[in-house]
Amino acid sequence: MRTQKINFPEHETLCVFPDKRSELPQALSELQLKGQYPVIVLIGGVIDKEHAAVTQQAVQTVSKIAQDLKSVVICGGTNMGIVAEMGHTRKRNHYNFPLVGIAPEELVTWPGGPKSTKFLG
């Protein structure tokens, strides 16, 4: 398993890349989530235009609850749809609840990292 700090334009984040299921407890330890947290699992998808306003309101509500309860939010770790909106809402409101994105490494891209084209073909 490897860990890597990734620099984004406005912040740095720690990424953990476990190679096998047995490394998951160590991966969680590497993320330094000490203590006990309520957990919110966000399963998203594309936000259709017809429901954009109500979806945005729901994401804002979930974000506020996560902040108030000091919850960990676990999501798909992509920059699209509801998952992306959660990240944007967290940033826009200056929230600091832990936001953990989970995605297969070969499907993600980050500054200075791999450039995935898996969904472009």
Task: List the chain pLDDT tens, one digit each, 121 residues.
Answer: 888 888 878 778 888 989 899 998 898 888 888 778 899 998 877 888 898 899 899 999 999 999 999 999 998 877 778 888 898 999 999 999 999 988 887 777 777 777 665 555 4
Alpha carbons 35 and 24: distance in angstroms, whole number: 17
User: So where are the chain's domains?
Assistant: 1-32, 37-121
Largest CA distance in the chain: 43
CA atoms of 72 and 106, how far apart (whole Å): 24
Q: Which secondary structure element, helix H or strand E, spans residue 3, and what is its range?
A: strand 2-7
Angstrom distance (rounded) from CA 25 to CA 44: 25
- pTM higher than 0.85 for the full model? no
Fold of 37-121: Rossmann fold (3.40.50)
Buried b (16+ CB within 10 A) or exposed e, 25-52: eebeebeeeeeeeeebebebeebeeeee
